Amino acid sequence: MESHNRSSEEIDLAYFFNPLLKGLKKIGIAIGKYFLKLQRNLFLFIMIFLSIAAAGYSYRYFLPKLYATDAVFVSHNLSAAFCSEMIKNLKDLLGNKKNASALADQLNITKEAAASIRALVIVPMDRGRFLDTEDTSASTFKIRLIVQQESFIPDIQKGLENFLENNGFALKRREAKRKTLEDLRDDLLTRISNLDSLKNVLSRSVVPRSNGQGIILGEPVSPIQAYQVQRDYYSQLKEIEEKLALLKNVDIVQPFLRLNATNYPNPQKYFSYGLLLGLIAALLLTPLLGWRK
């Protein structure tokens, strides 16, 4: 009985695996025939591969020679996403010579400089790389600029900075921050002035007890404590004055570099694409176009 059951199981397994084994055998035969065709048409394979690879290499001579450079910006009042939308509006003006004057007006640059811009790409960045992590109001982003003439790069950089700096919404936030800082400064100045008066009173009142004069306090107030408090106020005042002096919507951490040679598009990249495309095309076309025997 056990022998009969074992025989039935073997028949079932054979019935299940036979189609799979036949399929694998057919695939193996097809692969063998494929590589045999490649071997018989090796010259055709090499010609297809070299032709497309050479086309990819020579493509560099037909592409325009451009300059690509990056700059890192810091926005203190606007998010990187909002700045990205603003740059996106400028990108809509690129690629059409008729819009060069409109782009020039937005950036306050010459029409020739605006026409030289080929691409603007904004990339949000990790704010911790450039900023104090305690400054939660600031964000960093990178702008990639691609131009036809490198001499316009400084003017375009200044135009982008002014475009982001003088946004209406950002200006309102900057003025609100300025008002808050000025109020804090005035409050500290008042406290420092009051401390000056208190120090004078303490200096006149604290005298030796043997004289029988002066104010005798339960808990004597030392002028040193007043000086320490005043020093803290001065430190806070300096921080606020520094923030007021540097109060801007946008700062440039790393400016665009002036390039002496074109670097876009990257010819090595197109040559690599040509090699890859040539290999794929040779693998696909050789069996179709070559001898089939």
pLDDT level of residue 137 (50, 70, 90 thresholds): low
Q: Write the CB contacts of 275 (distance below 8 Å, at least 6 apart in sequence).
A: 53, 56
The CATH number for 67-167+250-264, chosen from 1.10.10, 3.30.56, 3.40.50, 3.30.70, is 3.30.70
The residue-averaged pLDDT of 252-280 equals 86
Q: What is the pLDDT of residue 107?
A: 92
% the chain with pLDDT above 90: 20
Query: Mind listing the pLDDT tens digit for each residue in 36-72?
Result: 888 888 889 889 989 988 888 887 777 788 999 999 9
Global pTM reads 0.63
pLDDT at 256 over 60: yes
Please, are residues 63 and 264 in contact by the beta-carbon 8 Å criterion? no
pLDDT of residue 17: 66
In this prediction, residue 63 carries a pLDDT of 78
pLDDT 10s digits, 80-102: 888 888 888 888 888 777 888 99
pLDDT of 188-230, one tens digit each? 888 887 776 666 665 555 555 444 454 444 455 566 776 787 7
Q: Where are the domains of the chain?
A: 2-61+269-289, 67-167+250-264, 172-204+219-245
pLDDT number for residue 261: 87
Q: Express as a percent the part of the chain with pLDDT over 70.
A: 79
Question: DSSP labels for the chain?
Answer: -HHHHHHHHHHHHHHHHHHHHHHHHHHHHHHHHHHHHHHHTHHHHHHHHHHHHHHHHHGGGTSPPBEEEEEEEEESSS-HHHHHHHHHHHHTTTT-GGGHHHHHHHHT--HHHHHHEEEEEEEE--GGGTS-TT-TT-EEEEEEEEES-GGGHHHHHHHHHHHHHT-HHHHHHHHHHHHHHHHHHHHHHHHHHHHHHHHHHHHHH---GGGT-S---SSPPPHHHHHHHHHHHHHHHHHHHHHHHT--SEEEEEPPPPPSS--BS-HHHHHHHHHHHHHHHHHHHHHHHS---
pLDDT at residue 112, rounded to an integer: 92
CA nearest neighbour of 192 among 226, 223, 144, 147: 226
pLDDT in tens, 227-255: 787 788 888 888 888 778 777 888 898 99
